[in-house]
Structure 1
């Protein structure tokens, strides 16, 4: 991946080729988004905007032909986060910016992407119907599972866009550090911290949305995205402090990806760290640390 970043930063033509090549692909648009963020962070908003305009051509074509606005939303959202990070030099603020971007993505789908939502609802309906048939047996009776609505799917897509845009931004930041400031990204990410007032506001917003009903629980997830990344930063800081290797973090990320209780646990870590400042407590006064 570092080799790709080196290639991109050789010149405008190289960056343009990689960005345009991935922007029209459902599987590779995240690479284009990360390249956009890298160029924006390193060379400024003008260079990033120039690349974005070219990337909108294949991404927009994909949306018009197939009705999939995902790559377009990811490119624009990642660019916005990169602009926030470049202007503020604050990773927490950039991560927090994913909340309004995720919400706007979901609202945009409800307003202008009804066709795509109908396709997604139909896909889930077919999948759940097949699952019900497999779970149903003669004596056990029919099994009925809940089917997502268009509102739920829009919230899910908004949450996915917010999550992926942060991931692309972090990849770009890692590329930037690997090329120009080795080791800098690790320190920056491990220090990611959200103040108590922010965590309280995000938590209350998530609870309020979830209390509106099942349809809005996916929208509540959007508010928890920054807390998840703050919790993951805490896990990375703890692993580095304890001297854990990459294998331990890989196993943890697999658990985090596939088990929702682990995600909630990470959110709990972030909330607790916001009030208790664990990273400061791990180091004794005078700089002497105690690994317990």
Structure 2
């Protein structure tokens, strides 16, 4: 990772090769988004845009073929990187995730709705051709019920979350690279300090809980967009407590397992931490006591 980051920062031509080359590879387009964001964080928006222009050509062509992820993730990562560079605040970045997620959601419901509808039709056609009992033992009636489920809003929500979360991960990688080259250990320190303001955390929790009830299936995307900042704040809380207690790396692995199996709990802990500041309380409790306990 360090060698790749050093190569990117060696010059504009090297950065352009990485960004443009990774944008044409199906599983590595997020690396190109992180590389362009690294240039933005270090050298500013003008240099990053000069490099991004060369990556836009393959991204636009891939989008024309029906896959908008490369283009949207690259642009979304740059937007978040610009917010981080101008504000130096991860809280501002998490706040910016909400309007960015709404933009992604609108694109999924309008510009790219036809692409997602084609995916749904392919899935339903494949489901209809399955003989009874082959889909995990499902009966004909169960398969028909699955076909009647409105899959399009679900897919739109999942794609919105994928675009937004991949944009955030691209920024995280870019910031990690920047710290690795110019401020070793700085990324971990600033990430562990992320703590949402109480009003923002409560508003996000309300969005998670109320969006499905108010908007039906269409609220699925809103729920996922609101969950992402809470998830990141929950991870920051976990990493912060692990570092303060000097626990082994096993606990970090357990934290991500908990994120997969108990995502709602991680989000709820982030909300509670915004109200009670667990890390601040622990720091005050474990402060110097002059040897008197």
TM-score if structure 1 supplies the norm length? Answer: 0.90
Equivalent pair of 1:121/1:148 in contact (CA under 8 Å): no
What does 1:65-80 correspond to in 2, within 5 Å?
Answer: 66-80=65-79
Cα 1:142–1:166 shift into 2, 3 Å: closer
3-state SS of the aligned residue for 1:280?
helix
Query: Where do 5+ consecutive residues of structure 1 fail to align?
Result: none
Cα 1:263–1:126 shift into 2, 3 Å: farther
Q: Say yes or no: does 1:37 pair with 2:37.
A: yes
Query: Where do 5+ consecutive residues of structure 2 fail to align?
Result: none
1:169 deviates by 0.5
1:236 to 236, 239, 263: 239
1:137 deviates by 6.2
User: In 2, distance between residues paired with 1:3 and 1:273?
Assistant: 37
Cα 1:15–1:272 shift into 2, 3 Å: same
Q: Say yes or no: does 1:83 pair with 2:71.
A: no
The corresponding residue for 1:49 is 49
Cα 1:128–1:103 shift into 2, 3 Å: farther
Cα 1:141–1:155 shift into 2, 3 Å: closer
The corresponding residue for 2:135 is 134
The corresponding residue for 2:20 is 20
State which drifts further: 154-163 or 11-20. Answer: 154-163
1:135 deviates by 2.9
User: In 1, distance between residues paired with 2:61 and 2:111?
Assistant: 16
3-state SS of the aligned residue for 1:135?
coil
Equivalent pair of 1:98/1:165 in contact (CA under 8 Å): no
1:192-215 CA deviation, whole Å, 9 max, x = no partner?
Answer: 011001111212222231112234
1:46-91 CA deviation, whole Å, 9 max, x = no partner?
Answer: 0111122211111111111x21101100000000000000011101
1:141 deviates by 7.2
1:226 to 214, 229, 233: 229
1:240 deviates by 1.0
The corresponding residue for 2:196 is 194
> RMSD of the alignment, in Å?
2.2
1:24 deviates by 2.1
User: In 1, distance between residues paired with 2:60 and 2:186?
Assistant: 35
Aligned residues: 284
Q: Say yes or no: does 1:11 pair with 2:14.
A: no
Cα 1:134–1:153 shift into 2, 3 Å: closer
What does 1:1-292 correspond to in 2, within 5 Å?
Answer: 1-64=1-64, 66-125=65-124, 133-136=134-137, 142=142, 144-145=145-146, 147-211=149-213, 212-257=215-260, 259=261, 262-284=262-284, 287-288=287-288
Equivalent pair of 1:67/1:115 in contact (CA under 8 Å): no
Equivalent pair of 1:103/1:155 in contact (CA under 8 Å): no
Equivalent pair of 1:42/1:176 in contact (CA under 8 Å): yes
